[in-house]
């Protein structure tokens, strides 16, 4: 058995070549070593990840029936096997075949390493882009608040006023919004003023449209305490001025990112009043408030930055 060391390339430490004793009987061992050295000197094999240089090991073994087995190894890992005919040709010709096959195995490893390096570089660039986007993208929870104003319109009544909602992420991108609103409005017949104090809650989800825009969709249930001025009766009770209703609402919002902590919120509302409110106005006209609800809202979503861990 002969083992010889030689410099392989600028990125590989000296490689070892092993020739089985039975191989030396059919090939010119000196020619094999010299030709493999010449062939591999043209192949620049990059080192594996985490290493500064490659360390290759070439084995030439007898495979029986007039064949030689050429193997390429590196640090205990095999990187290819080829078979070479040793039944035809002179020993120098067979040596040439062995050297060409060894170079082919080395080129295969070189191409594999380059492909791995390209994939790693693409993954690093993609991770860097995602990190840049993450640093510039508006924060998304786990908690936020949304102050704003909103207005709704149902048959005979419009309401408008401020509202404040808290957003708490529940699972994945699904969150729970809960809040309150205080609105004022007017009944169109009789010009009766109305005041409403509303509590609401429901699930919502935000969808990313691009680098600076989101679409937010939410469902909510609302319960409101209503106060009427200048009416004769509410809910069939003479002299009564207050009542309540319940509504189911759908909110579709377009959100423009202003900064890491702020979004501008513009939304459309739609829903239905689950409980109608019967009332009699001062002029004697009877109404049943309820039915379909339509509205709009304008607000700011404020997401506080995460607390930094103490050093």
Q: Where are the beta strands (DSSP E) in 155-211?
A: 157-171, 174-187, 192-208
Give me 273's structure tokens.
Answer: 């009043």
pTM passes above 0.75: no
| pLDDT tens-place string over residues 250-302 | 999 999 999 888 999 999 999 999 999 999 988 888 989 889 999 999 999 99
Domains of the chain in sequence order: 2-134 (3.40.50), 143-302 (2.40.128.100)
- How far apart, in whole angstroms, are the C-alpha atoms of residue 279 and residue 227? 11
Per-residue pLDDT of the chain (311 residues; tens, 9 = 90+): 343 333 344 345 446 888 888 888 788 888 888 888 888 888 888 887 777 778 888 988 988 888 899 999 888 888 889 998 888 888 888 888 888 998 899 889 889 888 988 998 899 999 888 887 777 677 777 889 999 999 999 988 999 999 999 999 988 789 999 999 999 999 887 788 999 999 999 999 999 888 789 999 999 999 999 999 989 999 989 989 999 999 999 999 999 999 888 999 999 999 999 999 999 988 888 989 889 999 999 999 999 887 665 55
What three-state secondary structure class fits 214?
strand
- At 15 the pLDDT is 65
What region, left, alpha or beta, does residue 95 occupy, with left being phi > 0 and alpha being psi -120 to 50 degrees? alpha
Question: Residue written as tokens 């000197």?
Answer: 41
Distance, C-alpha 114 to centroid of its chain: 28
Whose structure tokens read 């991770």? 127
Contact 169, 162 (CB under 8 A): no
pLDDT attached to residue 308: 62
Structure token pair of residue 276: 């109608």
What strands lie across the sheet with 2-6, from one edge to the other? 2-6, 12-19, 54-64, 67-74, 77-85
pLDDT of residue 56: 86
């Amino acid at each position: 058995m002969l083992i010889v060391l030689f410099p392989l390339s600028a990125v590989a430490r000296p490689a070892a070549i092993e020739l089985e004793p039975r191989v030396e009987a059919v090939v010119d061992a000196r020619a094999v070593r010299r030709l493999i050295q010449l062939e591999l000197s043209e192949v620049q094999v990059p080192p594996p990840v985490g290493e500064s240089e490659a360390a290759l090991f070439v084995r030439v073994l007898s495979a029986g029936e007039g064949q030689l087995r050429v193997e390429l190894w590196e640090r205990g890992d095999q990187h290819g096997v080829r078979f070479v005919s040793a039944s035809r040709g002179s020993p120098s010709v067979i040596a040439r075949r062995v050297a060409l096959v060894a170079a082919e195995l080395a080129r295969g490893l070189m191409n594999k390493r380059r492909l791995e390096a390209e994939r790693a570089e693409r993954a690093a660039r993609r991770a860097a882009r995602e990190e840049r986007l993450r640093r510039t993208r508006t924060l998304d929870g786990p908690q936020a608040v949304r102050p704003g104003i909103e207005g709704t319109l149902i048959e005979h009544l419009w309401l408008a006023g401020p509202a404040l909602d808290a957003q708490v992420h529940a699972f994945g991108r699904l969150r729970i919004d809960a809040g309150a609103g205080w609105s004022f409005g007017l009944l169109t017949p009789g010009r009766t003023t109305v005041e409403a104090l509303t509590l609401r809650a429901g699930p919502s989800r935000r969808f990313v449209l691009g680098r600076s825009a989101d679409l937010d969709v939410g469902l909510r249930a609302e319960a409101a305490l209503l106060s009427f001025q200048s009416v004769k009766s509410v809910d069939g009770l003479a002299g009564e001025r207050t009542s309540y209703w319940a509504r189911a609402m759908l909110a579709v919002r377009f959100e423009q990112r202003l900064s890491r902590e702020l979004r501008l919120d513009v939304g459309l509302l739609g829903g239905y009043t689950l409980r109608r409110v019967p009332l009699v106005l001062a002029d004697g006209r009877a109404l049943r408030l309820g039915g379909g609800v339509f509205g709009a809202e304008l607000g700011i979503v404020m997401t506080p930055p995460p607390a930094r861990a103490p050093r």
